[in-house]
Structure 1
Amino acid sequence: MLRSMFEKVSCQTLDDTKEFVPQTGLVKSLVAGRTIAAASAVTPQESCEFGSPKYFMLCGLGGILACGTTHTFVVPLDLVKCRIQVDPAKYKNIFHGFKVTLAEEGARGLARGWAPTFYGYSAQGLCKFGLYEVFKVLYAGMLGEEAAYVYRTWLYLGASATAEFFADIALSPMEAAKVKIQTTPGFANTLREAWPRIMREEGMHGFYKSLVPLWLRQIPYTMMKFACFEKTVELLYRYVVPKPRSDCSKPEQLVVTFAAGYIAGVFCAIVSHPADTVVSKLNQVKGVTALEAAKALGWGGLWKGLTPRIVMIGTLTALQWFIYDAFKVATLMPRPPPPEMPESLKKKLQAKGEL
């Protein structure tokens, strides 16, 4: 499946029996209005061709670095957030949550769950960013140049939703172990202890029982994360940045990336928070469904821990986009500019008097 997908999105033959010969002509990139000469697609300043298998592999590696490191960095905040969600009587707010955790477990206790966080979100980042780029190019090719520009927000939403569907399957087992370690006293202190116990007591179901609410949390989150980021970058360059992107230095472009990432992160946290609370409750309590957990929490309970999550997700999202884009800069990957209206569409609109 992935083999045929790469053939479609990269416009290359992967027949192992034949020597690769670059295609001539023009290959349309995802960015409407921009074309790439396939015979000389890799410029001296770029390490790979846009839309090639190497490009997608590097995107996946950038996703591992972006998600694995940032989620591990904010484990203390995530731990307190989860405890507020599942036991608001004991952990009243973010500051009280830190105070209680430090008093009972010391500073070491704030790092509980770091291992499943690192491995789980590294796997998720590989799929989230890598497959997003794959599906974005694939869907753009299916739509055609003009439709890909006109409906680009829907393109971002569809590509990110598809990518996150697979990313959550990779994340779910580690997420289950993380929440058990962080919210169930005495269950386990490490990943090596948590995994065998979950398997012994609940079987494979224990690793995937929260997959559906995880999808409900992560898919809207990721759709907002990518679509809001892409549109915010476009708007920042159009209305805020005082010069065209092509005239901005790489550091200046990364500042725009960070700002757009933080704005997107705030919206992500709000959209996905109720489902996040249900996921935490499901992994803490055995034998309950997502609907039962939601009813038990109540409307107010679903929004417990929102403030620390906004801080956490806003920072996370900004750092992830910054690391991801910085990785592209460091590895000399192609970084297409924000979409521009195709010339063919401009001529059509001008003929109709709409432009």
Structure 2
Amino acid sequence: MFKSLFEAAQNSTFKSPFTSVNCQSAANPSEVVSTPSAVPARLNDVQPRQHSSHHNFAAAAVAEGDSCEFGSNHYFLLCGLGGIISCGSTHTMVVPLDLVKCRLQVDPAKYKSVFNGFRVSMAEEGVRGLAKGWAPTFIGYSMQGLCKFGLYEVFKKVYGDAIGEENAFLYRTGLYLAASASAEFFADIALAPMEAAKVKIQTTPGFAKTLREALPKMTAQEGISAFYKGLVPLWMRQIPYTMMKFACFERTLELLYKYVVPKPRADCTKGEQLVVTFAAGYIAGVFCAIVSHPADTVVSKLNQAKGASALDVAKQLGWSGLWGGLVPRIVMIGTLTAAQWFIYDAVKVALRMPRPPPPEMPESLKKKLGVTGNEQ
């Protein structure tokens, strides 16, 4: 399935959901072709693709200064690598806060607040105890990041190409939501086993100190189902979170450049662009934490309570109990989301990957709607 999606995205006749190349007569090959993209395309930049039984159309060459072609398999794989680096590193860095947050959710009588949770945890297990669960966190969220960011770029291109350039602009928020939800569906399947092991290590006293110790114990007690019993509530938590994370980020970034940043994105340095990325990521992270928190509480409690269902746990916790640990999660998720977007964009800069600007209304749509200038 993944392979077919990559091929579909790579071989699409659209360059991206927001740009297109309008080919004219080959009589004047040096003539510049007008496009709605921020980067002009020239006919002599288009090279013929080797014909095969499947493809017989031209493909745009790699833009000058870029290490790969936008929408190519190479591009999508590098996006996945950026996801591994951004998600794996950031989630591992906040393991101590995540540990206290999980304990607040499953045992609020013992861990009464964030500071109390840190104090009690350190008194019982020392400073090293705050790092419990770091291994499954690093492995699980690296795998999740690969699918989350890599497949988001794939689905965004595939869906955008399917609905056409004009609709992709008009309904771009829906496009972001659909692409991110699709990507997260697969990302959670990759994450679920390690997430179950992490929560078990962090919230069940005396169960296990390391991942190597936890895995065989979980298998012996509940079989393979131990690693996937939290998948549905994980989807309930992560899919809304990721939809908000990507859609809110994309639209916030667009609005920041339009109304807040005093100069066009093209005139900003790479460092200035990364600062804007961080700001948009933090704003998105706050909304992400609020939207996904009840399901996060259920996941934490579910992996602690053997044999219970998600509905049983939700009923047991009650409405107020579902919001336990919200404040530390807002701090954690806000910072984490901002850092992830910053690192992901920084990886793109470091690897010289294509970084399209915020979407602009296609010229064809401007003519239809009678839009002039920068009005959109």
TM-score normalised to structure 2 length: 0.88
Deviation, structure 1 residue 44: 3.0
Distance 2:220 2:250 in 1: 44
Q: How many aligned positions are there?
A: 341
Listed as ranges, the matches of 1:80-95 within 5 Å are: 80-95=100-115
Listed as ranges, the matches of 1:196-345 within 5 Å are: 196-345=216-365
For residues 39-94 of structure 1, the C-alpha deviation after alignment (integer angstroms, 9 at most, x for no partner) is: 35312310000000000000000000000000000000000000000000000010
Q: Residue in 2 aligned with 1:9?
A: 9
User: What SS does structure 2 have at the residue aligned with 1:188?
Assistant: coil
Conserved? CA contact 2:282–2:335, under 8 Å: yes
Is it true that 1:31 corresponds to 2:18 in the alignment?
Answer: yes
Listed as ranges, the matches of 1:23-102 within 5 Å are: 27-32=14-19, 33-34=36-37, 38-39=46-47, 40-102=60-122
User: What SS does structure 2 have at the residue aligned with 1:284?
Assistant: coil
Is it true that 1:184 corresponds to 2:204 in the alignment?
Answer: yes
Distance 1:91 1:185 in 2: 14
User: What SS does structure 2 have at the residue aligned with 1:262?
Assistant: helix
Distance 1:69 1:126 in 2: 12
User: What SS does structure 1 have at the residue aligned with 2:303?
Assistant: helix
Conserved? CA contact 2:15–2:70, under 8 Å: no
Distance 1:185 1:211 in 2: 23
Listed as ranges, the matches of 1:143-162 within 5 Å are: 143-162=163-182
Distance 1:178 1:245 in 2: 41
Is it true that 1:103 corresponds to 2:123 in the alignment?
Answer: yes
For residues 121-158 of structure 1, the C-alpha deviation after alignment (integer angstroms, 9 at most, x for no partner) is: 00000000000000000000001000000000000000
User: What SS does structure 2 have at the residue aligned with 1:341?
Assistant: coil
Deviation, structure 1 residue 7: 2.1
Q: Residue in 1 aligned with 2:189?
A: 169
Distance 2:88 2:172 in 1: 28
Conserved? CA contact 2:17–2:164, under 8 Å: no
Distance 1:218 1:137 in 2: 22
Deviation, structure 1 residue 29: 1.5
User: What SS does structure 1 have at the residue aligned with 2:359?
Assistant: coil
Deviation, structure 1 residue 168: 0.2
User: What SS does structure 2 have at the residue aligned with 1:28?
Assistant: coil
Letter in 1 for 2:180: S
Pair 191,88 (structure 1): closer, same or farther in 2 beyond 3 Å:
same
Conserved? CA contact 1:265–1:315, under 8 Å: yes
User: What SS does structure 1 have at the residue aligned with 2:131?
Assistant: coil
Is it true that 1:121 corresponds to 2:141 in the alignment?
Answer: yes
The farther-off stretch of 252-261 and 34-43 is 34-43
Distance 2:133 2:340 in 1: 20
Conserved? CA contact 1:180–1:284, under 8 Å: yes
Letter in 1 for 2:15: K
Alignment RMSD:
1.6
Conserved? CA contact 2:14–2:161, under 8 Å: no
Letter in 2 for 1:30: P
Distance 1:214 1:144 in 2: 33
Letter in 2 for 1:31: F
Distance 2:101 2:284 in 1: 20
Distance 2:266 2:69 in 1: 19
Deviation, structure 1 residue 27: 4.1
Deviation, structure 1 residue 260: 0.2
Deviation, structure 1 residue 351: 8.4
Conserved? CA contact 1:86–1:183, under 8 Å: yes
Is it true that 1:138 corresponds to 2:158 in the alignment?
Answer: yes
For residues 156-194 of structure 1, the C-alpha deviation after alignment (integer angstroms, 9 at most, x for no partner) is: 000000000000000000000000000000110000011
For residues 297-350 of structure 1, the C-alpha deviation after alignment (integer angstroms, 9 at most, x for no partner) is: 111110000000000000000000000000000000000000000000000001
Distance 1:196 1:44 in 2: 52
Distance 1:257 1:249 in 2: 12
Share of identical aligned residues, percent? 73
User: What SS does structure 2 have at the residue aligned with 1:110?
Assistant: helix
Deviation, structure 1 residue 5: 1.9
Deviation, structure 1 residue 249: 0.2
TM-score normalised to structure 1 length: 0.94
Q: Which of the two has higher C-alpha Rg? A: 2
Structure 2 residues without counterparts, runs of 5 or longer: 20-35, 48-59
For residues 175-223 of structure 1, the C-alpha deviation after alignment (integer angstroms, 9 at most, x for no partner) is: 0000000000011000001111111110111000010000000000000
Distance 1:116 1:38 in 2: 46
Structure 1 residues without counterparts, runs of 5 or longer: 13-25
Conserved? CA contact 1:65–1:323, under 8 Å: yes
Conserved? CA contact 1:83–1:182, under 8 Å: yes
